[in-house]
Structure 1
Amino acid sequence: MAMEDGQGAGWPARSHDEVRALLTAPGSAFEMETVTIRGVPTRTWKHAPPTLRALLEASRGHGERLMTIHEDERVSYAAHARAVAALAAELVSRGVRAGDRVAIAMRNLPDYPVALFAITALGAVAVPLNAWWSGEEMRYALDDSGARMLIVDAERHERLIPLYGLLRHLGDVLVTRATGTLGRPATALEALIGPPAQWGSLPERPLPPVALAPDDPAVIFYTSGTTGRPKGALGTHRNLTTNIMSSAYAAARNALRRGEAPPPSTPRVLLTVIPLFHVTACSAALMGAVASGSTSIFMRRWDAVGAMELIERERVAVTGGVPTIAWQLLDHPERARFDLSSLESIAYGGAPAAPELAKRLRAEFGVWPQNGWGMTETMATVTSLAAEDYLARPESAGLPVAVADVIITDDEGVSLPVGTAGEVRARGPMVVAGYWNRPEATAETFVEGWVRTGDVGRLDAEGFLYILDRAKDVVIRGGENIYSIEVENVLQAHPAVSECAVIGTPHRVLGEEPVAVVRLIPGAAAGETELQCWVRERLAAFKVPAAIRFTAEPLPRNANGKILKRELKGLFRERFAA
């Protein structure tokens, strides 16, 4: 019988060491082998697809199963593969060769994975651009990457029309979903491969021949750029396909911990609400979905009611992305109107999650919460946390997957003892090759196979990672370090709080003080004094926010779901001016 915390009385049935040994034994699905990557011996998944081209070819076997749903467009795997082959042939005819960069700038559409797989199947490098960027921001990335071709939707195309003449490398532009004139020498994508409804009628054809290796470059994902110019993280085919096995391994680990057999790789329906220009959606979600023959539903924009309608109608099993999405589903006043019983898991990463979130998801939705930690520089998953292990350690970011190593170091790179806070470093086949055309930044961040994350964290005795904060976000009050995530987790647990952020403001004597910005759940009430008392009852007095400002608007976030704390400083103008 399940316990109140969602854990069975016999849990855990096996230790983590036992589970790892069973799952990675020779001949098993998760068998590992050591491969030298950029001069560093690295544990890899032996049975991961070697390249995105190999993944695409295998996906043909899913036939008429639906690959994507977008509004009234329903595209099968067979139709998708035909569209990819048609577009790949077009790219070759336009001079695209292995190593060339081809940018993608569009919202989540069925056209997006077609472009991604067509580009990478040729050995060219896909450059997903942030669809929220301004024209100037996209112009920077197009120039920085040296993209010779752009596949773009109509909205992004309109932003770029005044800037096309300034781009140094760009030649061809293919525009999808255009409703009027293209406005420059450009070609409608539909003129080359037709609209999604016609992809299934395209001729069956082989992909253009090309030789690919797992560690060939496949993508350039730009970092969020919260400070300075974004840097392009150069990801390989192995980086992306590693996530397929890492996600499956995490699911099998959860089952064995419960005393059950690992679940088979069965197709499910996923509601994907995170943009595909982010590694969480493209690498951690899409790659596994394609491998398993699952269906990805794309929304034009996030809307809680619209999401619940889709979950009910399409029998969605998995959704998530960032914690905000889970909170909005939980707190929505119309939630009871919808049948959400198909949900099995709500997964999120890319932003800290309050411990209370996992408990509420299990108690109110009956789903298994799932979290994890990674970054653009690791092409997503390094650690995973789900099910009973999540409920037992809701503050954790999870346990590294079997092919990953995580250590905590001091500023000189010396490994620190268990429980000591320091910089998080990660190693494994998911770590990217470096930054595009940034040799100095690459040398500083990537050291002998390890990526220096800039995150502050600690490991417990079993190897679970706890992210305490970004190094630059630590508030130092009178010489005492305050990790904002700790205060945010406490505030988030208050029943009236929807979301919050803690930042540091200058103080003449103490150096800094913590302050908070809070958005309340609609219809709920709480004042500054009440929330300060709430924190004081749960944390040391020096961690209590010295001031709290309230906002009715959602907190500003970047495309990765991280709160843009610099934009909140204006709410404390008098403190910064003091």
Structure 2
Amino acid sequence: MTTTMSLAEADRTLTAPGQMFEMETVEIRGVPTRVWKHAPGSLRDVLELSRAHGDKAYLVYEDERTTFEEHYRIVANLACSLEERFGVDTGERVTIAMRNLPEWAMGFWAAAVSGAVVVPLNAWWTGPELEYGLADSGTSVAFVDQGRFERLLPHLADLPDLRGVVVTTEDRSAFTAPKDTPVPVVTFAEMVGDPGPDSALPARSLDPEDDATIFYTSGTTGRPKGAVGTQRNMCTNLMSLFFINSRQSLRGASGMGDAPPGADQSAYLLSVPLFHATGCHSILVANTAAGNKLVMMHHWDPERALELIERERITTFGGVPAMVMQVIDSPEFAGRDTSSVRAVAYGGAPAPPELVRRIKEHFPVSAPSNGYGLTETSSVTTMNSGDDYVRKPDSVGPAVPVCDVRVVPEGFAGDEPADDLPSGPEVTGELWIKGPNVVRGYWKKAEATDATFTRGWLRSGDVARIDEEGFVYIVDRAKDMVIRGGENVYSVEVEAALFEHPAVSDCAVIGVPHEVLGEEVGAAVVMRPGTRVTAEELARHVRDRLAGFKVPTHIWFRSEPLPRNPQGKVLKRELRSSLLGAGTEGTGTERSAGEMG
């Protein structure tokens, strides 16, 4: 690819008056905000547009194929059943808790076009965690697969707002609900009925500022918080992705993920969970609108991914950087036809700059890209791709035109960044973000909302710098968390679980470098005098309370107190250095286990 136009020129051309990506300023919650003038008004509008793709393949799962028209009819019947069977109305919450299945997408769209607020829950959560998400959101109806249903069953009696559960099976076997459940349980097939050409969506009128989703994100204190996204948030991300693709094409490259010669559509390999903003906002919604084929995997496996890339002529794949590296390093790579790949997109975890070179070596016609965003920014805020990424591989790219980003120094006490704040490529500080992609706040958590959102700005919790071209570099995390394979693990949650063990006197959780996952969870533990416990027992104790990806895989037992500052805060940099500094950093080996007496 040869870039013939600057970023600034491309932005001016694409956002000029009358163009698809023209911008205007509207007031959102009292704050003047730049928005995409021609963005769809709601997710319902997006689904209606998708019907034009007709008999093109939309969802592919194992041997199942669903066209856009078939999908539309199924969604219409589902949406009507939500209203007729369970009385779901605009603004009520509908949860989806299942692995990546076609029914995930169908349930999402059915709830969305009904005006319900979709609540995707982490499919790896335990029963108590799922109960919390359903109870906190006040969910009326839940779409679940059989695995999640079995976890939820003991908790159904404790969910007074829940009016119904819709169950599907992963292996497509028949499902029979247990007798005398506290709430009605029906199968997905019963809800769908017999879709046909006359299937129609229930009548609804949706506004861009209506709530659309609640995505739960773990917090630095307490339980997970539900980030409330609006219809505008979702549609902004869609338009931002289309803008990025158009800018890529305008600057002399094929659009990211363009169909290869002879193909009538692009194909995306879905390798990340739909219950994350990346999977839902940037993959599901974007590919639905674009008329692309979405190929689902039962579970992540690099060899299976290569098989699907060849069979389905995949044009875009990615996920977290670890997944890309696993595909490239697979012993089956050389024997598979990967020539259809036009884009390798990833984010959600720190990416080594060396990965860019390896992508260009193994996928020579592809455009590598790495973006930055949060649940609270409805996925994409910045994107670095193509030649820009090769030129600046350690950057996450410039912000999309409807977003403002600022570096705010530590100690700043204002409610919005002042124009006279220090700036320049050497200035670091917390990254603040403003735009129509920023969610309206946290569900029923006013204090947390006030601490994170101010006058349209989001305090990201990430430490960054911005160079003279506007490219953002994430240099550190202000939040105390571990990113394991793209999953955020907040230390306080794991520490709280460890403290529940009677033998634990003190503990601290840190990230341990891992070549594939980026980081794993590690814990330093101080035992109570006279107690005995093994690392395996502590790991099992945490696993009984939290999802598996949060369980420490490295546990160090210490006889001396944890290092703390005068205010009592654990000095985690010092602790990490003492634990990992003896030549073990990046090896992923177990440092200690056994018993303490």
Shorter chain as denominator, the TM-score bin is 0.7 to 0.9
Contact 2:441/2:453 (<8 A) preserved: yes
Q: How does 1:210-221 map to 2 (within 5 A)?
A: 210-221=204-215
Contact 1:515/1:545 (<8 A) preserved: no
Match of 1:463 among 464, 470, 482: 470
Deviation at 1:109?
A: 1.2
Q: How does 1:375-394 map to 2 (within 5 A)?
A: 375-394=374-393
Distance 2:271 2:317 in 1: 8
Q: How does 1:343-354 map to 2 (within 5 A)?
A: 343-354=341-352
In structure 1, runs of 5+ residues without a counterpart are: 1-6, 476-490, 518-541, 554-569
Where 1:99 maps in the other structure, the secondary structure is coil
CA pair 376-122 structure 1, distance change in 2 beyond 3 A: same
Deviation string 1:44-81 (CA, Å, 9 cap, x unpaired) is 11111110011111111110111100011100010110
Q: How does 1:233-244 map to 2 (within 5 A)?
A: 233-244=227-238
Q: Could you say which residue in structure 2 is the equivalent of 1:29?
A: 20
The one-letter amino acid of 1:179's match is A
The one-letter amino acid of 2:377's match is T
Q: Could you say which residue in structure 1 is the equivalent of 2:428?
A: 421
266-275 vs 432-441, greater mean Cα deviation? 266-275
Match of 2:311 among 284, 301, 313: 313
Where 2:251 maps in the other structure, the secondary structure is helix
Q: Could you say which residue in structure 2 is the equivalent of 1:182?
A: 177
Distance 1:62 1:396 in 2: 36
Q: Could you say which residue in structure 1 is the equivalent of 2:507?
A: none
CA pair 473-219 structure 1, distance change in 2 beyond 3 A: closer
The one-letter amino acid of 2:423's match is P
Distance 1:261 1:239 in 2: 24
Matched, 1:324 2:322: yes
Deviation at 1:508?
A: 9.1
Where 2:139 maps in the other structure, the secondary structure is coil
Where 1:218 maps in the other structure, the secondary structure is strand
Matched, 1:206 2:200: yes
Deviation string 1:213-242 (CA, Å, 9 cap, x unpaired) is 111001100014575311000001111111
CA pair 447-335 structure 1, distance change in 2 beyond 3 A: same
Deviation at 1:257?
A: 3.1
Q: Could you say which residue in structure 1 is the equivalent of 2:160?
A: 168
CA pair 446-267 structure 1, distance change in 2 beyond 3 A: farther
Match of 2:449 among 442, 447, 450: 442
Deviation at 1:208?
A: 1.2
Distance 2:141 2:391 in 1: 49
Distance 1:261 1:72 in 2: 29
Contact 2:77/2:200 (<8 A) preserved: no
Deviation at 1:181?
A: 2.3
Q: Could you say which residue in structure 1 is the equivalent of 2:369?
A: 370
Matched, 1:100 2:92: yes
Deviation string 1:10-39 (CA, Å, 9 cap, x unpaired) is x4x222221111110001111111111111
- What TM-score, normalized by structure 1, do the two folds share? 0.81
Root mean square deviation, CA, Å: 3.0
Deviation at 1:258?
A: 3.2
Q: Could you say which residue in structure 2 is the equivalent of 1:293?
A: 291
Where 1:92 maps in the other structure, the secondary structure is helix
Matched, 1:14 2:2: no
Distance 2:324 2:75 in 1: 33
Distance 2:309 2:254 in 1: 27
Contact 1:423/1:455 (<8 A) preserved: yes
Distance 1:28 1:262 in 2: 20
In structure 2, runs of 5+ residues without a counterpart are: 483-512, 525-561
Deviation string 1:444-495 (CA, Å, 9 cap, x unpaired) is 11100001110111101111100112114599xxxxxxxxxxxxxxx99xxx
Contact 2:144/2:165 (<8 A) preserved: yes
The one-letter amino acid of 2:185's match is A
Contact 2:143/2:167 (<8 A) preserved: yes
The number of residues matched between the two structures is 503
Contact 1:500/1:516 (<8 A) preserved: no
CA pair 546-207 structure 1, distance change in 2 beyond 3 A: same
Matched, 1:548 2:584: yes
CA pair 515-322 structure 1, distance change in 2 beyond 3 A: farther
Q: Could you say which residue in structure 1 is the equivalent of 2:148?
A: 156
Distance 1:442 1:474 in 2: 19
Distance 1:264 1:322 in 2: 21
CA pair 83-231 structure 1, distance change in 2 beyond 3 A: same
Matched, 1:50 2:41: yes
- What TM-score, normalized by structure 2, do the two folds share? 0.79
